[in-house]
Amino acid sequence: MKTARRKAPVSRRMVNRHGSFNVVRKGISHKHWHDPYHLLLTLPWYYTLLVISLGYIIANALFALAYIIGGDGIENARPGNFFDAFFFSVQTMASIGYGAMYPKTPYANFLVTIESLLGLIGLAMGSGLMFARFSLPRARVMFSNIAVITPYNDVPTLMFRVANERENWILEAQVRVTLARTEITKEGDVMRRFYDMPLVRSQSPLFALTWTVMHVIDENSPLYGVTSEEMVEDEMEVVVTFTGLDETVSQTIHARHSYISEEIVWNMRFVDILGKTKDGSRCINYARFHDVVSLDEEKNGLGGC
C-alpha cells in the first residue's frame, strides 16, 4: 500500500524544500543592495542575467547621453544622434574599436578614458561573478518524501532515506538529525527548543547510492514516549543536515531537509529497492525510493528491482 506524500502548511515548516528558512523577519532592514555580491550569488540565474544586462544597457545609455552633451565629439557619427552615440559607447566599453567612429575632441577622449576603465572593471566583476556562480558546489542529494517510525530489532526507530543523485562518490559523508519542538516554560514563555538525535550510523566514508538513516527511539531519545498527536501539538520537526566532500570538484557540499509531524508515518516500512538483475548485477530501483508499505506487506517481500 503506497502512502502518498502529504503537503504541510508552509508556516509549519522551518526548512522548505529548497533548503531555505520559512521565517518572516520583522524589525530588521531588508536592504539587499547593501550586500550586492551575496544577492547576485543567491538570485535565480535569469534574474542575475537580467540585472547584468540592464546594468550594461543603462551604463551605455548614460555614456551616450554624456557624448551627446559634449557636442560633435565623435567622428563619422551624426551630431546629437542617440543611437550613434550609444553604439560608439558599446564599442568603447567592450574595446571593440571598429575604427569607423572615434573620438575627435578632448571632451570625447576624456569620456572614452573613463568608460574604458569602467568597462575593464565591469568585465572583471561580471566574469568573476559568473565563475563564482558556476563554481559553487551544489549537492544533488535526494531525501525521501516521508520518514517512518517502525520496529528495528524490536525497538521503535525513526527512518528516512538519502540518495546521491550524481554518479560519483561523496567522501566522508555525515548526517546530523535534530528535533525542533515548541515548548512552554513554567513562566509561560514559548520557546523553540532543539534536541540532538543520535543515529545508528551518522557517517559514511564513501556515499554513492542510498543510505537509510536510523534513529532508535529509546530512553535517551527526545521522541521517547511521544505520540503522533503530541508531535502535532508541539509542532515537532525533524531537521536534517547533510555534509560531505564531492570527489569530482574536491569541495564540501551540504544539503538540508526537514520532516514535520504530518510527514512522519507510523508502523510503515520503506519498500526494498535493492535487488539483482538477471545477470547477477546489483540493482537499485529509484522509482520506488519514496514508497512505503505496511509491515505485513513488507514481510511478503515487496519491492526490489
Residue in 295, 304, 305 with CA at minimum distance from that of residue 1: 295
Q: Percentage of residues in the chain with pLDDT exceeding 90?
A: 41
| pLDDT beyond 70 at 105 | yes
Write down all domains in the chain, each with its CATH number in brackets.
Answer: 32-135 (1.10.287.70), 141-298 (2.60.40.1400)
Residue range 19-27: mean pLDDT, rounded: 60
Burial of 215 (0-12, 13-18, 19+ CB in 10 A): buried
Is the per-residue pLDDT at 139 higher than 90? no
The single residue listed with the C-alpha cell 517502525 is: 150
Structure confidence at residue 199 as a pLDDT band (50, 70, 90): very high
Please report the sign of the dihedral spanned by the C-alpha atoms of residue 102, residue 108, residue 109, residue 111: negative
Dihedral Cα 10, 13, 14, 15, nearest 10 deg: -90
pLDDT of residue 8: 43
Identify the band that residue 223 occupies on the pLDDT scale cut at 50, 70 and 90.
very high
Segment 4-11 shows an average pLDDT of 44
Strand 264-266 to 147-152 pairing: parallel
Q: Above 70 in pLDDT, residue 7? A: no
Q: Is the pLDDT of residue 280 over 50?
A: yes
Tens digit of pLDDT for each residue in 289-301?
A: 998 888 877 555 4
pLDDT value at 132 more than 80 = yes
The arithmetic mean of pLDDT across residues 132-148, rounded, is 88
Q: What is the mean pLDDT of the chain?
A: 85
Q: Which helix (H) or strand (E) holds 9?
A: none
Mean per-residue pLDDT, 52-75: 92
240, β-bridge pairs: 177, 257
DSSP string spanning 257-283? EEEEGGGEEESEEEPB-EEE-TTS-EE
Q: Could you tell me which of 210, 203, 197, 202 has the C-alpha nearest to residue 157?
A: 197
What is the per-residue pLDDT for 175? 95
pLDDT score for 212:
93
